[in-house]
Chains A and B, each alone.
Chain A
């Protein structure tokens, strides 16, 4: 079985032949192409896969959105049946929340956070790969419901009880929603543990908490929100699965159950969820704006603590989703006040971004434009959000298009604009070339126009009383004009998204035609240490541990005050960037087990839905891969091997401190 040497693959070719845990899979070595991506444990590749998967699901969710807008463009339209409409809006919401915005945040957290804290990888590289694959497996499983099991889920992304029970939703669609998201939740949970450990424990020497870039802070808050929110959703989903599949009665009103339990559990998860979707985008623009305003972020501690405050207060506002569910005046008042309060730290952030830009030498490139787009559009969404906090007003707005307008302004105009800003900003670090600025500006202005045309009119429609989730409306209601505007807007918006994809392809081709010129380590004159390594980031990240002495450390290495106190550039970024020399660096070997373990989960899921006999292969595969994983030492300790050179991490002089990545039992928990 296990031996103690050769824990980690040696890219330099020093490895001594494959080991075969369970005699099935050798640990892949020098894998390339397809296998490399399937088995990689490199956080950057995993981050890129998160990004690619989220763009893939964005297309699915986007097509669903366009179908909805076609249906609603004219009164009494018969383009979609009521049943199809229900399925499509359910899948639109579910896919966009769980399979687009969340993984896009995870993409940045995975790719960027270890670079920004100066680490070689995340704390548990194989678990990181597992987190991605299990998310992807769950997402694919959810989307197979388009084709099998009687159709996609139709209970809304919130899937309220008792409508989600067998009595009202006998088809398996709800089970796909339930089990699919249960599976993606496992990935979120392992991912959050992994990323929090990385932030807290693997910072470069000298990087104290208050010297971390804001994006790292926002990642930390986000992952804590996930860590505590996911189990609550998991419980809700387990209860629903027990009801639907094993005849329990948690939401069975006949036997006295209170279906409001679902709403409470769902929104205790669901409200932290909305913050964990927006905070990564806040982190991104907090990096982009100082870079292109040529000023440090205004009020760094306020930015940090307002993010933390949002994280805490996000737990005390869930019932504002339930003002009309009869929870009583006292609860309504308390949650109403709490919801108004949470606008304060959010407002602090807006103010600080504005103050950062104030008096700065603004460089209005695409990344900066998208960031300003977030600040502007999120403010609009935030203001309509405060109007929901006022319970009497919310009672009028509940389940109207006003709500739809609100959360698209924060999630699309906010989060997604922030992510696109991040794409433009960090693209050179990830791929070695910039995205085209010309098409980028077209991309931005098309998206701004399309976005506001689509969702701006929904405020008016909502206040006119147009209800959400209705398949059609009567011409006499007077909703026709603004719906037509919104539908046109949605196609302009889709064109904007398409421009992003075209820009990726075009910029890549142009870069290849030009002979793959080196974009340089520091194309934007950046502030944080991810710009101190080559582009694209080498697989070992840092040649030597970066020593950090201040916030915006890289900037201070480039700029020092002269005698008069004026900041002068003493180095260019490329001068002091690390050369990207991997000599002597050992990286964790890729592994088959994360993807195999992840793929066993949907089999168990299908078994629960269709036929329990499928459990046998599913559980067998799961057990096997758990054992294979456990027997494949990632970084085992070896007291007999302490001579240092060339023996992988087991040879670490302080190997006895127990700081191992994955002792063999880790997978059992």
Chain B
């Protein structure tokens, strides 16, 4: 039993197979057993890494779906109890140091909107969305082999992402000073967990972008690795899209 015998199995390969067989024959015996365990032929015509990234993002949808549901439930229950003047809920807010006027505003409007600064958050949302644009430019520059531009755009994307994060840190600080603490109310727990999870994802993305930048400066991010940039881009766009949802659901819808 030899290799040849194994290949002479009684079968008629389909058209697409004949190509493969021909390639193997061309290269002679030294490459016939060449290792192709990792996607030499990829059945879907999509690289393993990209497929894996899409699957990961699919999984992330469920993660954020569950977190958003939790937030909506927490907010609704919080407001119901607050409007009903549940003393424990009121005490929770007061213990966090929330001023009485703000609490009364919450109750009067039956909404948590008074604590939000929508123009500010709109601004930081805009910055995050623009970073998706620079991400696209970065990928384009890498695939075209324009390394100087790719570094500019990667840095710009990381910078815009960091600006968004700075905005979130600032916003969290303001909210905390206004008495919205993590443990003081159901709304606080829900809000900080949801937006915090998103912030952690953005931070992870920034680390990836900075790593790409380092690779680029070391000359290891050439056009044949454009897909690595594309993968980070997929993740980055996903995080942006999730923010569009979170911004709409948390801030805009009363």
Residues on A facing B (Cβ under 8 Å): 2, 8, 119-121, 123-124, 189, 192-194, 196-197, 200-203, 205-207, 227-232, 234-236, 238-239, 242-243, 246-250, 252, 254-258, 261, 265, 268, 540-541, 543-545, 547, 549, 556-557, 560, 570, 575-579, 581-588, 630, 635, 637, 639, 644-645, 648-649, 652, 654-666, 668-669
Given contacts A258-B77, A637-B224, contact A660 B183 (CB under 8 A): no
A235, B68: Cα distance in complex, Å? 10
A549 to B15, CA, bound (A): 11
Report chain A residues within 8 Å CB of B78.
255-256
Q: A256-B89, A578-B6 are in contact. Are A547 and B224 (CB under 8 A)?
A: no
The answer to whether B204 and A201 touch across the interface, beta carbons within 8 angstroms, is no
* Cβ–Cβ < 8 Å partners of B52 in chain A: 123-124, 193-194, 197
CB distance from A267 to the nearest CB of B (A): 12
CB nearest neighbor in A for B20: A205
> Which of these, B2, B12, B49, B55, contacts A579 with CB under 8 Å?
B2
- Are A668 and B211 in contact (CB-based, < 8 A)? yes
In the assembled complex, B60 has its CB within 8 A of some CB on chain A: yes
B32 within 8 A of A: yes
* Complex contact B62–A256 (CB within 8 A): no
Select B222's contact among A234, A639, A654, beta carbons within 8 Å: A639
Q: How far is the CA of A557 from the CA of B211 in the complex (A)?
A: 50
Shortest Cβ distance from residue A646 to the other chain B in the assembled complex, whole angstroms: 8
Told that A544-B33, A630-B211 touch, could you supply 9 new A-B pairs with CB distance under 8 A? A194-B52, A200-B43, A206-B16, A228-B58, A249-B188, A265-B66, A544-B32, A586-B34, A586-B35
Which of these, B47, B62, B81, contacts A657 with CB under 8 Å? Answer: B47
Decide if A247 touches B183 in the complex (CB within 8 Å): yes
Instruction: Pick the contact of A668: B65, B86, B207 (CB < 8 A).
Output: B207
The smallest C-beta distance from B54 to any residue of chain A, in angstroms, reads 9
Q: Which residues of B contact A544 (CB under 8 A)?
A: 3, 6-7, 24, 32-33
Q: Are A234 and B63 in contact (CB under 8 A)?
A: yes
Q: Which of B6, B21, B24, B39 has a CB less than 8 Å from the CB of A576?
A: B6
A200-B63 in contact given A205-B20, A248-B182, A639-B224 (Cβ < 8 Å)? no
Q: State the interface size on chain B (CB cutoff 8 A).
A: 87
14 A-B contact pairs sorted by A residue (CB < 8 Å): A120-B35, A206-B17, A249-B183, A254-B88, A256-B81, A256-B89, A268-B66, A547-B13, A578-B6, A579-B1, A579-B2, A663-B225, A666-B49, A669-B204
* B208 and A665 contact, CB distance less than 8 A: yes
Give the contacting residue for B208; candidates A2, A261, A581, A669; CB below 8 A.
A669
Q: A201-B42, A249-B185 are in contact. Are A637 and B225 (CB under 8 A)?
A: yes
Q: How far is the CA of A665 from the CA of B20 in the complex (A)?
A: 31
What separation, in Å, do the CA atoms of A251 and B142 have in the docked complex? 48
Contacts of A588 in B (CB 8 A): 37-38
Check if B177 is an interface residue, CB within 8 A of chain A: no
Query: Does any Cβ of A come within 8 Å of B30's Cβ?
Result: yes
Distance, CA A256 to CA B53, complexed state (A): 39
A207: nearest residue on chain B (CB-CB)? B43
Q: Does B217 contact A (CB under 8 A)?
A: no
A230-B59, A248-B189 known; A205 vs B211 contact (CB < 8 Å): no
Does the CB pair A255–B35 fall under 8 Å? no
B92 touches A658 (CB 8 A): no
Give the residues in chain A near B189, CB-CB below 8 Å.
Answer: 242-243, 248-250
State the CA gap A659–B40 with chains docked (Å).
Answer: 7
Q: A203 contacts which chain B residues (CB < 8 A)?
A: 43
In the complex, the answer to whether A250 meets B70 with C-beta atoms within 8 Å is: yes
Distance, CA A570 to CA B11, complexed state (A): 13
- Residues of A contacting B33 in the complex (Cβ-Cβ under 8 angstroms): 543-544, 581-585
B198 to chain A, nearest CB (A): 13
Complex: how many Å from CA A587 to CA B80?
Answer: 61
Are A201 and B44 interface neighbours, CB within 8 A? yes
Bound complex: CA A495 to CA B155 (Å): 65
Whole-angstrom CA separation of A666 from B17 in the bound complex: 32
Which of B125-133, B163-171, B228-236 is the interface stretch? B228-236
Contacts of B44 in A (CB 8 A): 200-201
Residues on the B chain within 8 Å of A242, using CB? 182, 189, 193
Q: Chain A's interface: helix, strand, loop or mixed, by majority?
A: loop
* Pairwise interchain contact A543-B6, C-beta atoms closer than 8 A: yes
B143 to chain A, nearest CB (A): 11
Q: How far is the CB of A161 from chain B (nearest CB, A)?
A: 12
Contacts of A585 in B (CB 8 A): 33-35
Assess the A121–B227 pair: CB atoms within 8 A.
no
- Known contacts A258-B77, A560-B10, A664-B215; decide if A120 and B193 are in contact (CB<8 Å): no
Whether B249 sits at the interface, judged by CB under 8 Å, is no
Q: Which residues of B lie under 8 Å from residue A232 when comparing CB positions?
A: 62-63, 65-66
Most chain A CB neighbours (cut-off 10 Å) among B7, B47, B56, B215:
B47
In the A-B complex, the 5 residue pairs with the smallest Cβ-Cβ separation, listed nearest first, are A120-B37, A256-B81, A247-B183, A658-B227, A231-B63
* B216-250 to A contact mask, C-beta < 8 Å, 1/0: 00001010111110011001000000000000000
Q: Are B31 and A645 in contact (CB under 8 A)?
A: yes
* Contact A665:B228 (CB < 8 A) given known A544-B6, A587-B35: yes
> When the two chains form their complex, are residues A649 and B48 in contact, meaning their CB atoms are under 8 A apart?
no
Q: Which of B77-127 contact A (CB under 8 A)?
A: 77-78, 80-81, 86, 88-89, 92
B43 lies within 8 A of A255 (CB)? no
Q: Measured between C-beta atoms, what is the minimum distance from B213 to chain A in Å?
A: 11
Q: Which of B35, B48, B74, B215 contacts A250 (CB 8 A)?
A: B74
Does B22 count as interface, using CB distance less than 8 angstroms? Answer: no
- Measured CB to CB, the nearest residue on chain A to B19 is A205
Alpha-carbon gap, A487 to B159, bound state (A):
66
Closest residue of chain B to A196, judged by CB? B55
Using A579-B6, A584-B30, A585-B33 as known contacts, say yes or no to A663 and B49 having CB atoms under 8 A apart.
yes
B252 within 8 A of A: no
Whether B59 pairs with A228 at a CB distance below 8 angstroms is yes
Closest chain A CB from B29 CB (angstroms): 8
Closest A residue to B222 by beta carbon equals: A639
**Are B227 and A549 touching (Cβ within 8 A)?**
no
How far does the alpha carbon of A196 sit from the alpha carbon of B81 in the complex, in Å? 45
Instruction: Please give, as numbers and ranges, the residues of chain B lying within 8 Å of A557 by CB-CB distance.
Output: 9-11
CA distance A120 to B66 in the complex (A): 37
Bound-state Cα–Cα, A579 to B1, Å: 6
